[in-house]
Amino acid sequence: MRAVTQDRLGGPEVLRLATVDRPEPGPAEVLVRIHATAVNPTDVWHRGTGGLAGADAPPVPLGWDLSGTVEAVGIGVTLFRPGDEVFGMPRHPAPAGTYAEYATSPARHLAHKPAGLDHVAAAALPLAGLTAWQALVDTADVRPGQRVLVHAAAGGVGHLAVQIAKSRGAYVIGTAGAAKHDFVRSLGADEVVDYRTTDFAETVTGVDVVLDTIGGAYGPRSLRTLRPGGLVVSLASPAEAALAEEAGRNGVRAVFLAVEADRAGMLALAGLAGSGELRPHIAEVLPLARVGRAHELSGSGRTSGKIVLTTDAHRPAPGAEPR
């Protein structure tokens, strides 16, 4: 099969297509023929740093999102059969290697693809959608009438978080540049703050939950928007222990979230997508051969929504420059 690989750490130019052995499903696993996969900021980080494995990591199996068709099932699988259309985020935070034509996954890391989503849209949901779901629902337990502040509300996680919070009956405030305000409002946001011209920490008050996708100064500043007992869920860095300490001194809370593979969350996302309450916005669709360009776009931080790679077309010879 074709898969993206890299021989060294570095920029998008280190990524290349190669021919590798197709994996076989083990017990309780399925083999998925991948039609589409998505690019996430964590992919860019792993490409350049080796991720948690460190500098001696190459080759780094990149990619966690997938949408495709079950090709084969391993011993003991009862949830799926060959031919089923599935989507999910297998194995995270362990490597999954979904920048490829095939990948194996524990069966219970997947869900049936909603009939109303094509593979491109379905591939855009798992990692970003699970991150938003685990932050807002599993961690914060957002409820009707609560005020939720979503930073980078036009981004990959942010634009899904706005929709998930609205599905929970929340009043949603998003931060975004002025050019993206109409887009964020179209997702259901009740207010949008231009972070370039307005200090959200001075104008937004009485917030129950903040989803901080940015980190840095955004964490401490977000604490100032919270009502007593409010919560900041940070996706930025577990090293920000000082944020939790500062929150405690101010009568609020702050926690760090690392997304996990989660069948219950996948079923919830499938339900919301099936009902039309959750729709990923696709910023760009590129063939697998142009993975380098996809990483350039992702690394720019300027896209709204998600970047998706497809495996079903534009098949250059293995080793061709994936730009």
What pLDDT sits at residue 316?
40
Kindly report, residue by residue over 296-314, the tens digit of the pLDDT: 999 887 889 999 999 974 3
Residue found by looking up tokens 């570095």 in the block: 10
**Confidence bin at 323 (pLDDT 50/70/90):** very low
Instruction: Judge whether 200 and 193 are in contact, CB under 8 Å.
Output: yes
Kindly report, residue by residue over 23-82, the tens digit of the pLDDT: 999 999 999 999 999 999 999 988 988 876 555 567 778 999 999 999 999 999 999 999
Q: Give Cα separations from 233 to 112, 243, 301 (angstroms).
A: 29, 11, 21
What pLDDT sits at residue 319?
44
pLDDT at 318 over 70: no
Closest alpha carbon to 165 in 186, 183, 140, 182:
140
Within its chain, how far is the Cα of 68 from the centroid? 17
Q: Buried b / exposed e across 298-310, counting CB within 10 Å, b at 16+? A: bbeeebbbbbbbb
Q: What is the C-alpha to C-alpha distance for residues 75 and 2, in angstroms, rounded to an integer?
A: 26
Q: What is the C-alpha to C-alpha distance for residues 136 and 130, in angstroms, rounded to an integer?
A: 10
What's the whole-number mean pLDDT along residues 165-178?
A: 97
Domain topology for 2-125+280-310: Quinone Oxidoreductase; Chain A, domain 1 (3.90.180)
68-72, 134-138, 284-288, 299-303: segment of lowest average pLDDT:
299-303
Backbone φ and ψ of 239, nearest 5°:
-75, -10
Within its chain, how far is the Cα of 190 from the centroid? 23
Kindly report, residue by residue over 80-98, the tens digit of the pLDDT: 999 999 999 999 988 899 9
What's the whole-number mean pLDDT along residues 182-191?
A: 98
Look at 237 and 33; give whichever has higher pLDDT: 33
Same fold, 2-125+280-310 and 127-256: no
Q: Give the length of the chain.
A: 323
Tokens representing residue 30 in the block? 């399925």
What pLDDT sits at residue 241?
74
What pLDDT sits at residue 263?
96
CATH 2.40.280.10 fits domain 127-256: no
What pLDDT sits at residue 237?
67
What's the whole-number mean pLDDT along residues 249-261?
A: 94
What pLDDT sits at residue 74?
98
Let me know if 182 is exposed, middle or buried by CB neighbors in 10 A (0-12, 13-18, 19+): exposed
Look at 240 and 2; give whichever has higher pLDDT: 2
What pLDDT sits at residue 59?
74
pLDDT at 239 over 70: no
The domain ranges of the chain are 2-125+280-310, 127-256
Query: Which residues contact residue 108 at a Cβ distance below 8 angstroms, ignoring those fewer than 6 apart?
Result: 28, 79, 263
Strand ranges (E), 160-318: 171-176, 191-194, 207-212, 226-234, 253-256, 282-287, 306-310
